[in-house]
């Protein structure tokens, strides 16, 4: 399998904002809870004040360079992939997120690792088969929404449509807490807590 380290996929700003931050666009002070936008070309998550967020919300704003990240969380209750189908997507671990990249002009797949977000060579035929079964996935907004699959426990594989910054939040959790071969207790607990929060926010 061809794997490419994609260090720049890890956001320069952590998805969970810290007190005292400023808008990455206009430098205005922003609170602990604020919106995000994505730099489509560099795949960076940027903290945004409300006016700047609304500026990038319309389709085609900033010639498509920056996009406001939506807040939709959706749980795909009928999602089902057996081990063979999962393997066909060519993701080596049980966690992955998939989104359509406008610069790459294709759907890309990443999984969190201690080194950051790592790209996996996605099987196009396997992905197209998944789109046929789950139309909601085909309607995700390019660059800013992703299909996040939690397959750490094969018998309980779950899938969510989430904002792209949520995926990089998970990447940050893995990168900063992973220890040893299996991740360790802290990493597992943090990932469990993350997915509990995602499930609580998601509509069916």
Q: Mean of the per-residue pLDDT values for the chain?
A: 87
Q: For 17-38, what is the mean pLDDT?
A: 85
Ordered alpha helix ranges (H), 25-163? 50-55, 83-88, 124-133, 135-138
44 token code pair: 């960076």
Q: Which DSSP string corresponds to 119-142?
A: EE---HHHHHHHHHH-HHHHTSPT
Predicted confidence at residue 85, as pLDDT, reads 86
67-100 per-position pLDDT tens digit: 999 999 999 998 988 888 888 888 888 899 999 9
E strand or H helix at 163: strand 158-163
User: Quick count: other Cβ atoms within 10 Å of Cβ 76?
Assistant: 18
Predicted confidence at residue 13, as pLDDT, reads 43
64 token code pair: 């498509």
Q: With contact defined as beta carbons under 8 Å apart, do 162 and 15 qualify?
A: no
Predicted confidence at residue 119, as pLDDT, reads 92
Write down the domain spans for the chain.
8-68, 73-201
E strand or H helix at 108: strand 106-113
Predicted confidence at residue 98, as pLDDT, reads 96
Predicted confidence at residue 23, as pLDDT, reads 95
| pLDDT of 20 above 70 | no
1: pLDDT confidence band, cut at 50, 70 and 90? very low
Measured distance CA(54)–CA(191) in Å, rounded: 31
| pLDDT of 201 above 90 | yes
Q: For 100-123, what is the mean pLDDT?
A: 92
146-164 per-position pLDDT tens digit: 999 998 876 678 999 999 9
User: Quick count: other Cβ atoms within 10 Å of Cβ 68?
Assistant: 20
161-198 per-position pLDDT tens digit: 999 999 999 999 999 999 988 888 999 999 999 999 99
DSSP assigned state of 194:
H
């Amino acid at each position: 399998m061809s794997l490419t380290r994609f260090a720049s996929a890890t956001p320069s700003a952590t998805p969970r904002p810290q007190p005292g931050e400023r808008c990455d666009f206009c430098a205005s002070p922003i609170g602990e809870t604020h919106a995000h936008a994505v730099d489509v070309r560099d795949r960076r998550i940027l903290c945004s004040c409300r006016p700047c967020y609304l500026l990038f919300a319309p389709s085609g704003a900033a010639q498509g360079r920056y996009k406001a990240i939506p807040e939709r969380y959706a749980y795909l209750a009928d999602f089902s992939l057996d081990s063979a189908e999962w393997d066909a997507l060519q993701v080596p671990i049980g966690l992955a997120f998939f989104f359509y990249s406008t610069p790459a002009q294709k759907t890309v797949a990443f999984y969190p690792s201690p080194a950051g977000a790592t790209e996996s060579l996605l099987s196009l035929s396997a992905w197209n088969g998944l789109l046929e079964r789950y139309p909601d996935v085909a309607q995700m907004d390019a660059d800013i929404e992703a299909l996040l699959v939690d397959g750490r426990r094969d018998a309980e594989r779950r899938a969510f449509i989430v904002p792209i910054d949520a995926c990089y939040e998970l990447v940050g959790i893995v990168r900063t807490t992973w220890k040893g071969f299996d991740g360790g207790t802290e990493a597992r607990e943090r990932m469990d807590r993350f997915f509990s929060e995602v499930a609580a926010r998601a509509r069916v």
